[in-house]
Chain A
Amino acid sequence: MTRTGPIADPARLLPAGGAPAELAAHRARHGAVPRIRDARELVALVEAAGLRGRGGSGFPTARKLAAVAAGGRRPIVVVNACESEPASRKDAVLLRHAPHLVLDGALVAARALRARTVVICLHRGDPVAAHLNAALSQRRGDGVDWQLAEVPRRYVASEASALARFLTDGEARPTARPPRPEQRGVRGRPTLIDNAETLAQLALAVRYGPEWYRSVGTRTDPGTALVTVSGCVARPGVYEIELGAPLATAIGAAGGPTVPVGATLVGGYGGTWVRDPGLPLSHDPAGREGSTIGAGALIAVPATACGLVETARVLVFLAAESAGQCGPCTFGLPAIADDVARLAAGRADDALAGRLTRRLGQVTGRGACAHPTGAVRLARSMLRVFADDVRAHHRGHPCPPQPPVLPIPAPTMLERAWR
């Protein structure tokens, strides 16, 4: 049933001229929701398309679907649209401009998995909720129970196991694995938790077929991806790129740099610093830092800014955003943030280098979720990419003060912050 749609390359989710936000226009463009017999057929289609999760990890979506389908009990489908990355806006833009593409993808998955409930998760107070409710009111005949859930605005609250726990007992903190949410998630049921863009991509892959889907992107990471480009670019915003395209293409889509770029933070706050504009953007690790596109947040930082100060600010934020459950994260992230802040300020003591190196090695991989590992990845990439600055700061020569570049959300209210 492969059909070549009237879709321009490479923009698929957000085509030039605008995506159809209204249901009638959406149906006129993409047709009815494709009928999939069962989970097996969907897994085969998605596997053939090579779709990988757009929430950050790039996990093969077919494998997740298959794990949920193998669960035995009736599954639940969760659309993760929380978008906790402070510099990411892609899911908000997608849900504003093409909500029905996301909902179609969730519906296809729910029908194939025989799920009756689809829960769409947004951050509490997200203005997108109003748009989503309007879109849902047009879809009463879908045969599933559409629900909206508002999740606390915390960085790790939208991690998959944290969402499953939140929807079960109201506490939005990650849980230890196993079991994974695919095996035992919301109220003990097998739970498919996919990023909003992943489901929109799934809708397109199923509608137009794996061959069409693979006609752009790389062999191991086909298709397009939404990126949020910010920092010192002429037109910050959300753009759609072909996976595997160089970083320069994404920066160029945003109008190019306004001042000389020192480095770009690729993949969000658990990502890596990158200087090479030729770095291919995909979920496969590339370049000296093993960079991946993550959830598509790209922040170009001016050459005049201090990479150490910027990194230290983010590490302080990440430390404060620990769920406080695992010791190495609870105690390690503040300690690492403090070391990097001292270094950035040119106040390193003689023991700092050895201490920080040891702490980075001891914290990575030791949380129930990937939060501490992401923080360590960012810190290590700073040490390598800004190696010359690190040496100067270590000798007690900090950079002159500059206005901050990377956005840090306002401190969250601590009371009941996880519920």
Chain B
Amino acid sequence: MALNDRVPPNPARPDRPRKARVPTGPALRVDPIGCQAHGLCAELLPGHVTLDEWGYPILPTGPVPPELLAAARAAVRACPTLALRIASE
């Protein structure tokens, strides 16, 4: 496997996070300094929040699907370091 083949060429500044997509709504946000990788958010929102190899949450940039809002609010309440919040776009 050639390493460089897997890096997408992208002239438009590949490292900049994409701007909010068209559908807007309440989205999960994490304070990266406050987060201590307890991982409860991923447990309460399986599939929506995943963890990186060090246990820190990877959040989708888009809004929380309506059917997951209750679970998202529960995750916000459960975060031991109060690092998770729901931001309205």
CB-CB under 8 A from A348, the residues of chain B are: 3
* A332 and B32 within 8 A (CB): no
A176 to B16, CA, bound (A): 17
A245 to B36, CA, bound (A): 45
A384 to B3, CA, bound (A): 9
* B15 and A176 within 8 A (CB): no
Task: List CB contacts (< 8 Å) of B1-51 with chain A.
Answer: 1-4, 6-7, 9-17, 31-37
Residue of A with least CB distance to B6: A357
CB-CB under 8 A from B89, the residues of chain A are: none
Q: With A288-B9, A288-B11, A290-B13 in contact, is A366–B32 under 8 Å at CB?
A: yes
Residue of A with least CB distance to B30: A366
Residue of B with least CB distance to A370: B15
Task: List CB contacts (< 8 Å) of A318-372 with chain B.
Answer: 325-329, 331-332, 335, 343, 348, 352-354, 356-357, 359-360, 362, 364-368
Residue of A with least CB distance to B36: A327
Q: How large is the interface on A (under 10, 10 to 19, 20 to 34, 35 or more residues)?
A: 35 or more
Q: With A383-B3, A383-B7 in contact, is A328–B13 under 8 Å at CB?
A: no
**CB within 8 Å of A: which residues of B?**
1-4, 6-7, 9-17, 31-37, 52-56, 58
CB-CB under 8 A from B14, the residues of chain A are: 290, 377, 380
Min CB distance B33 to A, Å, is: 4
A289 to B12, CA, bound (A): 8
Residue of A with least CB distance to B4: A387
CB-CB under 8 A from A377, the residues of chain B are: 14-15
**Which 5 A-B residue pairings sit nearest by Cβ, starting from the closest?**
A326-B32, A327-B56, A290-B13, A353-B3, A387-B4
Kindly name the residue among B6, B33, B54, B58 whose own CB sees the greatest number of chain A CB atoms within 10 A.
Answer: B33
Determine which of B4, B10, B17, B34 lies in contact with A290 in the assembled complex, contact meaning CB atoms within 8 Å: B10
Determine which of A328, A368, A391 lies in contact with B56 in the assembled complex, contact meaning CB atoms within 8 Å: A328
Min CB distance A48 to B, Å, is: 26
Residue of B with least CB distance to A270: B15
Given contacts A327-B35, A362-B53, A365-B16, 16 further A-B contacts (CB under 8 A): A176-B33, A285-B11, A287-B11, A289-B11, A325-B33, A327-B32, A327-B36, A332-B54, A360-B7, A364-B17, A373-B16, A380-B7, A383-B4, A384-B7, A391-B3, A394-B2
Main secondary structure of the interface of A (DSSP, over half): helix
Task: List CB contacts (< 8 Å) of A370-406 with chain B.
Answer: 373, 376-377, 380, 383-384, 387, 390-391, 394
A212 to B5, CA, bound (A): 47
| A80 is an interface residue with CB less than 8 A from chain B | no
Min CB distance B43 to A, Å, is: 17
A353 to B1, CA, bound (A): 7
Kindly name the residue among A287, A364, A380 whose own CB sees the greatest number of chain B CB atoms within 10 A.
Answer: A380
* 7 A-B interface contacts by CB (under 8 A): A176-B32, A285-B13, A289-B11, A325-B33, A343-B3, A364-B17, A380-B14
Task: List CB contacts (< 8 Å) of A146-177 with chain B.
Answer: 174-176
Min CB distance A391 to B, Å, is: 6
A176 to B33, CA, bound (A): 7
Q: With A285-B13, A288-B11, A365-B15 in contact, is A390–B58 under 8 Å at CB?
A: no
* A331 and B54 within 8 A (CB): yes
A367 to B53, CA, bound (A): 16
* B3 and A390 within 8 A (CB): yes
CB-CB under 8 A from B34, the residues of chain A are: 176
Residue of B with least CB distance to A376: B15
* B33 and A357 within 8 A (CB): no
Residue of B with least CB distance to A358: B53
Residue of A with least CB distance to B50: A362
Determine which of B1, B4, B16, B53 lies in contact with A354 in the assembled complex, contact meaning CB atoms within 8 Å: B1
